[in-house]
Amino acid sequence: MWSNLPLFPARASTLAGHVDALYFLLVAVTAFFTILIAALILIFAIRFRKQKHPVAKQIHGSNALELTWTIIPLGISMIFFVWGAAIYFTETRPPKDSMEVYVVAKQWMWKFEHTEGQREIDELHVPEGRDVRLIMTSQDVIHSFFVPAFRVKADVLPGRYTSTWFHATKPGRYHLFCSQYCGTAHSSMVGWVVVMTPGAYQQWASTGTDGSLASTGEKYFQQYGCSTCHRSDSQGRGPNLVGIFGKPVLLDDGRTVVADESYIRESILNPEAKVVSGFKPIMPTFQGQIDEEGLVALVAYIKGLGNGMANPPMPVNNPEKAPYPVPPKPEASQATPSAK
Amino acid sequence: MASAAITQDEKTNYLNADYGIKSWLLTTDHKRIALLYLISITMFFFLGGFFAMLIRLELLTPAGDLVTSDTYNKLFTMHGIVMVFLFLIPAVPTVLGNFLVPMMIGAKDLAFPKLNLASWYVYMLGGGWVLYAIITGGVDTGWTFYTPYSTTFSNTNVVAAAVGIFIAGFSSIFTGINFIVTIHRMRAPGLTWRRLPLFIWSNYATSVIMVLGTPVLAITLLLVAAERLFHLGIFNAQLGGDPLLFQHLFWFYSHPAVYIMILPGMGVISEVVTCFSRKRVFGYDFVALASICIAVLGFLVWAHHMFVAGISVYAAMVFSLLTFFVAIPSAVKVFNWIATMYQGSISFETPMLYAFGFIGLFTMGGMTGLFLGSLGIDVHVHDTYFVVAHFHYVMVGGMVMAYMCGLHFWWPKITGKMYPEGWAKLSALLTFVGFNLTFFPQFILGYMGMPRRYHAYPPEFQVLNVLSTAGASVLAVGYVLPMIYFVWSLRYGQDAGPNPWRAAGLEWMTSSPPPTSNFETTPVVTWEAYNYDEIDKQQEVPVAS
ipTM value for the complex = 0.91
**Residue B309 touches chain A, beta carbons under 8 Å:** yes
In this prediction, residue A5 carries a pLDDT of 64
Mutate to test the interface with B, among A184, A261, A262 (most CBs of B within 10 A): A184
Q: B282 and A33: CB-CB below 8 Å?
A: no
Class of domain B27-537: mainly alpha
CA geometry: angle at A172 spanning A166 and A174, to 5°?
Answer: 65
> In this structure, are strands A123-127 and A190-196 parallel, antiparallel, or unpaired?
parallel
Residues A196, A229: one domain? no
How many CB pairs (< 8 A) connect A and B?
A: 292
- Cα torsion B261, B267, B272, B274: sign: positive
Q: B343 and A183: CB-CB below 8 Å?
A: no
Residues A200, A147: one domain? yes
Nearest to A159 among B140, B238, B336 (CB): B238
In this prediction, residue A206 carries a pLDDT of 83
Nearest Cα neighbor of A158 from A174, A175, A182, A177 is A182
**Residue B527 touches chain A, beta carbons under 8 Å:** no
User: What residues in A contact B244, CB-CB < 8 Å?
Assistant: 157
Q: What is the pLDDT along chain A (340 residues), one digit of tens a residue?
A: 444 567 889 999 999 999 999 999 999 999 999 999 999 999 999 999 999 999 999 888 899 999 999 999 999 999 999 999 999 999 999 998 899 999 999 999 999 999 888 899 999 999 999 999 999 999 999 999 999 999 999 999 998 999 999 999 999 999 999 999 999 999 999 999 999 999 999 999 887 777 888 888 988 998 888 888 888 887 888 888 888 888 899 998 889 999 988 899 989 988 888 899 888 888 988 888 888 999 999 999 998 887 766 777 765 554 444 444 444 443 433 433 443 3
In this prediction, residue A117 carries a pLDDT of 87
**Residue B308 touches chain A, beta carbons under 8 Å:** yes
Residues A34, A175: one domain? yes
Burial of residue B115 (number of CB atoms within 10 Å: 0-12, 13-18, 19+): middle
Residues A175, A218: one domain? no
**Residues 65-94 (B) with a CB less than 8 A from some CB of A:** 69-70, 73
**Residue A45 touches chain B, beta carbons under 8 Å:** yes
Q: Are B110 and B98 in contact (CB under 8 A)?
A: yes
How many Å lie between the alpha carbon of B42 and the closest alpha carbon of chain A?
29
- Contacting residues for A270 by C-beta, under 8 A, at least 6 apart: A285, A287, B240
User: What residues in A contact B285, CB-CB < 8 Å?
Assistant: 61
Nearest Cα neighbor of B541 from B513, B492, B495, B501 is B501
User: What residues in B contact A19, CB-CB < 8 Å?
Assistant: 376-377, 379-380
Q: B321 and A81: CB-CB below 8 Å?
A: yes
Q: B341 and A92: CB-CB below 8 Å?
A: no
- Contacting residues for A71 by C-beta, under 8 A, at least 6 apart: none
Using CA coordinates, name the residue in chain B closest to A60: B282
Distances (CA, A) of B475 to A163, B428, B471, B503: 42, 10, 6, 30
**Residue A289 touches chain B, beta carbons under 8 Å:** no
Residues A75, A114: one domain? yes
**Residue B149 touches chain A, beta carbons under 8 Å:** yes
**Residue A78 touches chain B, beta carbons under 8 Å:** yes
Q: Which of A187, A210, A233 is the last residue of a domain?
A: A210
Distance, in Å, from the CA atom of B153 to the CA atom of B155, rounded to the nearest integer, reads 6
**Residue B342 touches chain A, beta carbons under 8 Å:** yes
Distance, in Å, from the CA atom of A275 to the CA atom of B241, rounded to the nearest integer, reads 20
In this prediction, residue B154 carries a pLDDT of 93
Using CA coordinates, name the residue in chain A closest to B278: A56
Mutate to test the interface with A, among B72, B367, B452, B533 (most CBs of A within 10 A): B367
Amino acid identity, position B197: P
- Contacting residues for B530 by C-beta, under 8 A, at least 6 apart: B197, B274, B279, B280, B281, B284, B504
User: What residues in B contact A33, CB-CB < 8 Å?
Assistant: 363, 367
**Residue A182 touches chain B, beta carbons under 8 Å:** yes
Say which CATH number the domain at A62 has: 2.60.40.420
**Residues 461-500 (B) with a CB less than 8 A from some CB of A:** 462-464, 466
Assess if residue A331 is contained within a domain.
no
Using CA coordinates, name the residue in chain A closest to B76: A181
Distance, in Å, from the CA atom of B175 to the CA atom of B179, rounded to the nearest integer, reads 6
Q: What is the pLDDT along chain B (545 residues), one digit of tens a residue?
A: 344 444 444 578 999 888 899 999 999 999 999 999 999 999 999 999 999 999 999 999 999 999 999 999 999 999 999 999 999 999 999 999 999 999 999 999 999 999 999 999 999 999 999 999 999 999 999 999 999 999 999 999 999 999 999 999 999 999 999 999 999 999 999 999 999 999 999 999 999 999 999 999 999 999 999 999 998 889 988 888 899 999 999 999 999 999 999 999 999 999 999 999 999 999 999 999 999 999 999 999 999 999 999 899 999 999 999 999 999 999 999 999 999 999 999 999 999 999 999 999 999 999 999 999 999 999 999 999 999 999 999 999 999 999 999 999 999 999 999 999 999 999 999 999 999 999 999 999 999 999 999 999 999 999 999 999 999 999 999 999 999 999 999 999 999 999 999 999 999 999 999 999 999 889 999 999 999 999 888 865 555 54
**Residues 275-294 (B) with a CB less than 8 A from some CB of A:** 277-280, 282-286
Q: B309 and A155: CB-CB below 8 Å?
A: yes
Q: Which of A170, A186, A210 is the last residue of a domain?
A: A210
Nearest to B284 among A5, A44, A61 (CB): A61
User: What residues in A contact B457, CB-CB < 8 Å?
Assistant: 187
User: What residues in A contact B376, CB-CB < 8 Å?
Assistant: 18-19, 22, 83-88, 91
How many Å lie between the alpha carbon of A24 and the closest alpha carbon of chain B?
10
Q: Are A286 and A206 in contact (CB under 8 A)?
A: no
Q: B148 and A142: CB-CB below 8 Å?
A: yes
Q: Which residues of A172-211 are buried (b: 16+ CB within 10 A; e: fewer)?
A: eebbbbbbbbbbbbbbbbbbbbbbbeeeebeebbeeeeee
Assess if residue A23 is contained within a domain.
yes
Mutate to test the interface with B, among A24, A47, A48 (most CBs of B within 10 A): A48
Nearest to B448 among A8, A85, A182 (CB): A8
Assess if residue A250 is contained within a domain.
yes
In this prediction, residue A282 carries a pLDDT of 87
The domain limits of chain B are: 27-537
Residues A129, A266: one domain? no
Q: For residue A111, what are the β-bridge partners?
A: A104, A121
**Residue B324 touches chain A, beta carbons under 8 Å:** yes
The maximal CA–CA distance of chain A, rounded, in angstroms, is: 101
Q: What's the domain range around A99? A: 9-210
Q: B278 and A141: CB-CB below 8 Å?
A: no
In this prediction, residue A315 carries a pLDDT of 54
Q: B533 and A58: CB-CB below 8 Å?
A: yes
Q: B346 and A49: CB-CB below 8 Å?
A: yes
- Contacting residues for A104 by C-beta, under 8 A, at least 6 apart: A111, A113, A136, A137, A138, A139, A292, A293, A296
Residues A206, A238: one domain? no
User: What residues in A contact B153, CB-CB < 8 Å?
Assistant: 107, 140-141, 183
Q: A181 and B149: CB-CB below 8 Å?
A: yes
**Residue B233 touches chain A, beta carbons under 8 Å:** no
> In this structure, are strands A131-138 and A162-167 parallel, antiparallel, or unpaired?
antiparallel
Distance, in Å, from the CA atom of B432 to the CA atom of B441, rounded to the nearest integer, reads 15
Distance, in Å, from the CA atom of B323 to the CA atom of B320, rounded to the nearest integer, reads 5
**Which string of DSSP letters, residue by residue, matches B206-261?**
HHHHHHHHHHHHHHHHHHHHHHHHH---SS-GGGT--HHHHHHHHHHHHHHHHHHH
**Residue B116 touches chain A, beta carbons under 8 Å:** no
User: What residues in B contact A273, CB-CB < 8 Å?
Assistant: none
Say which CATH number the domain at A295 has: 1.10.760.10
In this prediction, residue A238 carries a pLDDT of 86
**Residue B534 touches chain A, beta carbons under 8 Å:** no
In this prediction, residue B543 carries a pLDDT of 54
Q: For residue A155, what are the β-bridge partners?
A: A144
- Contacting residues for B313 by C-beta, under 8 A, at least 6 apart: A88, A89, A92, A93
**Residue A55 touches chain B, beta carbons under 8 Å:** yes
The number of distinct structural domains making up chain A is 2
How many Å lie between the alpha carbon of A2 and the closest alpha carbon of chain B?
7
> In this structure, are strands A152-156 and A190-196 parallel, antiparallel, or unpaired?
unpaired
> Helix A14-47 crosses helix B313-341 at what angle (to 10 degrees)?
20
Q: A88 and B313: CB-CB below 8 Å?
A: yes
Q: What is the CA radius of gyration of chain A?
A: 28
Assess if residue A340 is contained within a domain.
no
**Residue B390 touches chain A, beta carbons under 8 Å:** no
Distance, in Å, from the CA atom of B336 to the CA atom of B284, rounded to the nearest integer, reads 9
User: What residues in A contact B345, CB-CB < 8 Å?
Assistant: 48-50, 53-56
**Residue A9 touches chain B, beta carbons under 8 Å:** yes
